Structure formats: C-alpha cells, structure tokens
Amino acid sequence: MKKSENARGIYKIVNTLNGKCYVGSTTVAFKKRWSTHSKTLAEGRHHSWKLQQDYADYGNDAFVFLIIEVVQEESKLLTREQFWIDKLNCVESGYNVAPFAMSSLGVKWTPDSRQKMAAIRMANPISADQHALMAEGRRNSPVWRAAMAKVHQGNIGRRQSAEAKAAIGEVSRNQWLDPKRKANHSAKMTGYKHTEEAREKISKGRTGMAFTEMHMHNLSVAHLGYEPTVEARKNMSLGQQRRRERERVERDALSSGSKLPMEK
C-alpha cells in the first residue's frame, strides 16, 4: 500500500486464503481508511457482517488492503465504486452487503442485526422534521435516484408468487387495523390535493383496468357502512360527469371517423 497511500479512490480488502474481497471508496487517504477498517474489524464492529465473520475465523494476517484505482474527482467516486462492486461480484461472492455504492438498498441483515436496529429505532423515534429532511435529501441525491432506477429496472416483468402476495396482503391488512395508524394517515391526507400531472398519471394508469370479482367483493365489503361527506359526494358526481362526457366524445369521434381531441 506504499504507492499512492496518501491518494484517494477505490480500494479492496482481500482475503488471501479464499479470494473473497470487499470493495469501497474513500475521500480521505487510503492509509487512513485502511486504519479505520482495521480498527473496527479488531473491535468486532465492522459494518460488513460477512467480512467481520471471516476476519474472526481467519485472523488479521489473512487480509490485505489493495488500491484498485486512484480517482481525482470526488464526483466520480461512487460511479467507479459501483463499477468495481459489479465487476468483482462483491455482493454475491464477496464481502459487500449493499449492492449499491453508499446505499443500504438490497442489504440482507442478519436476524440479530434486525433486532438491534429495531430496538434502537424504538428508543429513538424519528421526528416529522427529520423525516422531511431525509426525504428532501433523497429527492436531491443522484446516487439515490440511480439506485432506485436500478431497483425499478430489476423489478420489470417480475411476478410475485401466490404465497408472497398473500403474505404482503396480510401484513398490509394488519397495519391498517391499528386505529392510531388510521388516524395519522387521515390527518396527513386531509386537504391533500394531487397535482395535475399526478392526476393525469393516475388516470392513464387506470385506463382499461378491469377489477376481478374478488376485488369487487373486497371493495364492497370495505365500504359497508361508509357514509361519504357532502364534499366527497360532490367530487364523485363531478368525476362521473367527466367520465360520461369523455365517453360521449370518444363515441362521437369513432362514429364520425375524426381524431380524438388531445388530453389537456
């Protein structure tokens, strides 16, 4: 590590006995970053549980720190780190636990880690202001957007099994049995208005949608005893009027052979 040890960029920690490696990036000197890894590993608190486990099994002497690439521009660090994580397959056959650079998306935590994190969150609940700051940070983060785009791309064409759908439905139903959760959701949605762009996307997404008999039955059961407000009735009536007008225009256009008007 003597060469360029004071530079910064992409590195890997390699287990010389089995060939597995961990890839990371650093904005500080490589020497300082390796010192941090060595310290947390020796103390048994490294964030990569896979690396920590093998460190305990093989010992310190089995691992070496190697510089992969010196990166001068900090803005390119995450892109290059992601390139090496993918190239060396460090998640599936290495020590990286997160498939995306600087993101916890896709991380598979151990049961013990899940319990510890749950206990910490229960003792330190996140305030509404903190939630807002976190959401704003994600919206403005190119790394987050890139990670979400990659997750979305991976889910295209994916079909959940019947068992998975049933489990997801059960969790969702149980969540809404909590009166406090219902009240919080109602308070957040009171007075909320979708933007015109959001309305258009929702409308297009529902076009041609056909509910199954089971879905219709579930909707009917869910609305038993429900009494819409005067404002809700008015909005539903206006929605039905717009739908009927749209259907009339489409029928007239088809019968006359003219083009349908552009949606606003």
Q: Tell whether the model's pLDDT for residue 90 goes beyond 80.
A: yes
Q: Tell whether the model's pLDDT for residue 66 goes beyond 90.
A: yes
Q: Tell whether the model's pLDDT for residue 59 goes beyond 80.
A: yes
- The confidence band for 105, taking pLDDT boundaries of 50, 70 and 90, is very low
More confident residue, 5 or 169: 169
Give me the residue spans of the domains in the chain. Answer: 1-108, 168-210, 227-264
Q: What is the pLDDT of residue 34?
A: 93
HSE value, Cβ hemisphere, 13 Å, CA-based, for 114: 5
> Rounded to an integer, what distance in angstroms lies between the CA atom of residue 231 and that of residue 41?
61
Token digits of residue 196: 């015109």
Beta sheet of 21-26, edge-to-edge order:
21-26, 9-15, 63-70
Q: What is the pLDDT of residue 252?
A: 80
CATH 3.40.1440.10, applies to 1-108:
yes
**What is the tens place of the pLDDT at every residue in 119-150?**
766 777 767 777 777 777 777 777 677 777 77
Q: What is the pLDDT of residue 5?
A: 55
Q: What is the pLDDT of residue 117?
A: 66
Q: What per-residue string of b and e applies to 15-45 under the rule 16 or more CB within 10 Å gives b?
A: beeeebbbbbbbeeebeebbeebbebbeeee
Q: What is the pTM of this model?
A: 0.43
Q: What is the pLDDT of residue 108?
A: 61
- The confidence band for 107, taking pLDDT boundaries of 50, 70 and 90, is low
Distances (CA, A) of 90 to 82, 85, 183: 10, 5, 44
Inter-residue contact 107 to 98 (CB < 8 Å): yes
**What is the tens place of the pLDDT at every residue in 3-13?**
455 678 999 99
DSSP codes joined into one string, 194-213: --HHHHHHHHHHHTT----H
Q: Tell whether the model's pLDDT for residue 230 goes beyond 80.
A: yes
Over residues 212-233, mean pLDDT: 81
Q: What is the pLDDT of residue 234?
A: 87
Q: Tell whether the model's pLDDT for residue 104 goes beyond 60.
A: no
Q: What is the pLDDT of residue 193?
A: 80
- The confidence band for 258, taking pLDDT boundaries of 50, 70 and 90, is low
Token digits of residue 263: 């949606």
Name the average pLDDT for the chain: 81
Query: Closest Cα to residue 86, out of 217, 94, 239?
Result: 94
- The confidence band for 95, taking pLDDT boundaries of 50, 70 and 90, is very high
Evaluated on CA atoms 42, 44, 48, 54, the torsion sign reads positive
> Rounded to an integer, what distance in angstroms lies between the CA atom of residue 78 and that of residue 10?
9
Evaluated on CA atoms 36, 42, 46, 49, the torsion sign reads positive
Q: What is the pLDDT of residue 13?
A: 96
